[in-house]
Chain A
Amino acid sequence: MNKNLERLYNGLWKENPTFVLMLGMCPTLAVTTSAINGIGMGLSTTVVLVLSNMMISALRNLIPDRVRMPAFIVVVASFVTIVQFLMQGFLPSLYTSLGIYIPLIVVNCIILGRAESYASKNPVIPSMFDGIGMGLGFTVGLTLIGIVREILGNGSIFDVAITPLNDFHITLFGLAPGAFIVLGFLVAIMNVIRRKMEAAGKPLPEVQGCLAGDCAGCTLSSACTGKSLVHKKDELPPVNPKDVAKPEPVQATVRQTANAKNTEDVEKSGSDSSYADDDIVGKEEK
C-alpha cells in the first residue's frame, strides 16, 4: 500500500484516535452535544494537527531532544492561536459553543502524541498525511458521537429538526453521562465490525516490517528493539527489499532476529502507538 495512503487508512480506521487509541477524550466527551460542534472541533483540530505535524517534522533535526516537549507546545500553541482568531472572526457562533475547548487543543493528546511518536521522526510529507489521517479520524469520531447525541438528545441532525422526534427528546444524551454511554456503544459496535472483518478472513493489512525501512508506518515501533538501527534509515533512500535479502552477513541477522521478535509482540501490543520507546531511542542515538 502506498505509504501516504496507508497513513490515512491508519488514522481513519486502524488507529482511529477516538475509537481505538482513546485519545483526546476531553473534547470528545465535552463538545459533542451536536453534530456541528463535532465537525467544528474535529476540523479545527485537524488543521492544527496537519500544520504542527509538518512544522515539527521540518524542525525535527533542529529541536534538541531534551527540550522537545516545550518546543512542540510552542509550535502547537502558535497554530491554535491562529485557528482561534480565525474562528472568532469568521465563525463566531461555533467559537462560542466550543468555548474553552479551542485553546485546549494545545494540550490535546492526539496532537502531542503524533508529534512525539511520528512527526518528530519522519519526513514532512508522510507527517502531513499522518496529520490528515488522524485529524479526519478524530473528526469522523466526534461527528458520529455528535450525530447520535443530537438525534437522541435534541431530536435534530445538523440543526435540522426531525419532525417525528419532536416529542421524544432524551435530555440525558445532551449531558456528560450521555456522551460516555454513546462513546461506549460506538466503540462496542466498532469492535464487533473489526472482529467480523477478521473472522471473514480479511485481516487488517499489516504494515511492512522494518526491512522495508518504514519505521514510520510501523505500528510496532514501541515494541521494536532494533529501532535505532532502522531509525536512521529514514534519511537514507528507502531500501530495496532485494538488497536486504542478499545478506551482508552480520547486520542482516541482527535485523531478522529483531524482526522475529516484533512479529511475536504484534498481538500483545495491539495497535498501540509508540510513546515509551522514545527515551530509549534517544539514548541509543547518543
Chain B
Amino acid sequence: MSNLLKVSSSPHVRAKDDTSRIMLYVIIALMPTTLFGIFNFGLRALLLVAVCIITCVLSEFLFEKAVGKKSTIKDLSAVVTGLLLALNLPHTLPVWQAVLGSVFAIVVVKMLFGGLGQNFMNPALGGRVFLLISFAATMTNFEYDGVASATPLALLKNGEAVNTLDMLIGRCGGTIGETSAICILIGAIILILLGVIDLTIPGVYILSFAIFIILFGGHGFDATFLVAHLCGGGLMLGAFFMATDYVTSPITPMGKIIFGICLGVLTGVFRIFGNSAEGVSYAIIFSNLLVPLIEKVTVPRAFGVVRPKKVKEVKSNE
C-alpha cells in the first residue's frame, strides 16, 4: 500500500486536552482555595493537604502494581482526589485518619470499580463520607484561631446570628477549603474560562437550593439568611468542583438540569430538615448514584429523528 494513503479510524482531529491537562487545570483552579486554607488554618492544613495527596497517589500506584495494571498516576487524577479530600477535612483531623480516608477514596471507591472513569461516586467525597461516618467527633471538630468554634451553618441551625462578610472572605471555622466563597469563585471562574466545566450543573444546583431555602427555610426571603446558606458549608466547593466531576455527572443537557435540581433539593432537605447542619457531601454522593438513571431517561433526540407523536383520537361525529 502506498505511503500516501493513510488509513485510520475517527476521530481524525483531536483537541490537545487530555486527562492530565484537565486535571492540571483543576489543580490550578483549586490553588486560591488551598493557599487561603493554609493561610487561614496554618501549617497543619498544609500537612494534611500533603499527606492526602501523597497517600492518594501512592495507593493508586501500589494498587495498580499489586493487580498488575498499567500505572495511571501520571494522569494527575489521584492528585486532584487527594487535594479535594484534604480541602474537605477540618485541619485538626489526626493524620492517620486522613491517610485512611485517602486510601479508602482511591482503593475502595475508585480502583475497585475499575479506576478513573468507572467510579460510581466522587472518590474524594466517598473518602470524606467514610471519615464522617467513622470518626464523627474529629470530623466535626472545627477550630478557628485556636479556639473551638461552631461553623456558621451550625450557628444558623441554632438560630444565632452570623457575619456574612466573614463568610464571604472565609474568616470562620470549617473544613480547610470550604470557608472562603470568594477564593472558590475565583477558581470556578478559571475553570469556566478554560472550558473545563460549564455552568449548567453548578448554576441549577445553587439556584434550586436558593429557591428551596426561600420556600422552606422558615425565613422567607431573608437576604442574610440566604447568603449565609449559600456561602456556608461546602456548597460552593461542592457545586463547582465536585458536582461537576465528569465521571459522576450526567452528560446529557437535560440530565444536567435534573442532576442540579436533585442536588439543590437534597442539600436543602439535609440542611433544613436533617439532624446535622451540613448535607452537601451526602447530597452529591446520593445524586451520583442517580446519574445512570438520569442519563437513561434523558437521552437526547438524534439529529433528524422524529419522535413518534401521540396519535390524537379523532372523534367520529356523525
CB <8 Å contact, A168 and B130: no
Number of interface residues of B (CB under 8 A): 8
CB <8 Å contact, B108 and A171: no
Q: Determine whether A170 belongs to the interface, using a CB cutoff of 8 Å to chain B.
A: yes
Residue of B nearest to A171 (CB): B134
Main secondary structure of the interface of A (DSSP, over half): helix
A181: B residues at CB distance < 8 A: 108
CB <8 Å contact, B108 and A170: no
Chain A min CB distance to B288 (Å): 15
CB <8 Å contact, A172 and B133: yes
Q: Determine whether A175 belongs to the interface, using a CB cutoff of 8 Å to chain B.
A: yes
Number of interface residues of A (CB under 8 A): 9
CB <8 Å contact, B100 and A170: yes
Residue of B nearest to A152 (CB): B134
Of the candidates A171, A175, A177, which one forms a contact with B135 in the assembled complex, judged by CB atoms under 8 Å apart?
A: A171
Residue of A nearest to B108 (CB): A181
| Proximity bits, A165-182, B CB within 8 Å = 1, else 0 | 000111111010100010
Residue of A nearest to B96 (CB): A168
CB <8 Å contact, B134 and A170: yes
Chain B min CB distance to A186 (Å): 14
A37 to B133, CA, bound (A): 22
Point out which of A171, A177, A181 has the most chain B C-beta atoms below 10 A from its C-beta. Answer: A171
A177: B residues at CB distance < 8 A: 133
A171 to B139, CA, bound (A): 13
A172: B residues at CB distance < 8 A: 130, 133-134
A170: B residues at CB distance < 8 A: 100, 134-135
CB <8 Å contact, A171 and B136: yes
Chain B min CB distance to A193 (Å): 16
Point out which of B96, B130, B134, B136 has the most chain A C-beta atoms below 10 A from its C-beta. Answer: B134
A168: B residues at CB distance < 8 A: 96
B134: A residues at CB distance < 8 A: 169-173
Chain A min CB distance to B103 (Å): 12
CB <8 Å contact, A171 and B96: no
A172 to B108, CA, bound (A): 13
Chain B min CB distance to A280 (Å): 37
Provide 11 A-B residue pairs closer than 8 Å at the C-beta atoms, listed in order of the A residue: A168-B96, A169-B134, A170-B134, A170-B135, A171-B133, A171-B134, A171-B136, A172-B130, A172-B134, A177-B133, A181-B108
Given pairs A170-B100, A177-B133, A181-B108, 5 additional interface contacts (CB within 8 A)? A169-B134, A170-B134, A171-B133, A172-B130, A172-B134
Q: Which 5 A-B pairs have the closest CB atoms?
A: A172-B134, A170-B134, A171-B134, A172-B133, A172-B130
